[in-house]
A and B are shown apart, each in its own frame.
Chain A
């Protein structure tokens, strides 16, 4: 998961390496995902999310489709 200055920079980086484009997020989406994902990590009650729970987190910030599928 890398951050690029713009879509143009990402496209050039992908072309240079022959990589296929995966999925893109805005920085705001990435911050929201980080907040949801990690805010309780130091809690004694923390437990790893099930695949379905993780997919629900992704969907809550608009990340849907086969790229985000875990089940």
Chain B
């Protein structure tokens, strides 16, 4: 049991490091090649990680959708950091990308009501928001976030 947990953490770490290096998550076969295990073992590990909410797979596939805060698909929350565009699935994750990378960065999103761009900068760990009136809204209570992690 302990050995399996270690392997899952190796897969988790590889996914994050690959994602940060390449700007996309690895395919299972790429993880398998790097860790010298079979693709089937990697896919089983990814499913266990998803069951533990340590990453999110695209529905019905072994492909990583989110290694939070990173999101493999474009979203309304674009992040510019380390000379690359990233996406978070929500404003929390978009700012989380900057926090995780430990870099300066810029989050660009739009107000869902009026479609005006909202640009939030982080420089030297300090936040520069466009307007003091800007507000973040959580629609779904914390206990229900994982009921549908793509909608919060």
| Interface of A toward B, CB cutoff 8 Å | 1-7, 9-10, 12-13, 16, 19, 21-31, 33-35, 37-39, 41-42, 44, 48, 54, 58, 66-70
A39 CA / B54 CA spacing, docked (Å): 15
Number of A-B contacts (CB under 8 A): 144
Known: A2-B137, A5-B118, A26-B135. A41 touches B142 (CB 8 A): no
Interface size class of B (residues with CB under 8 A): 35 or more
> How far in angstroms is the closest Cβ of chain A from B70?
9
Interface stretch among B30-38, B57-65, B95-103?
B95-103
Known: A34-B92, A39-B102, A44-B13. A67 touches B135 (CB 8 A): no
Would you give the shortest CB distance from B78 to chain A, in whole angstroms?
12
Sample 22 A-B pairs with CB under 8 A, ordered by A number: A1-B92, A1-B138, A3-B137, A4-B134, A4-B136, A5-B111, A9-B114, A10-B137, A13-B112, A22-B141, A23-B137, A26-B135, A33-B92, A37-B96, A37-B99, A38-B93, A38-B96, A42-B16, A42-B17, A44-B13, A70-B142, A70-B143
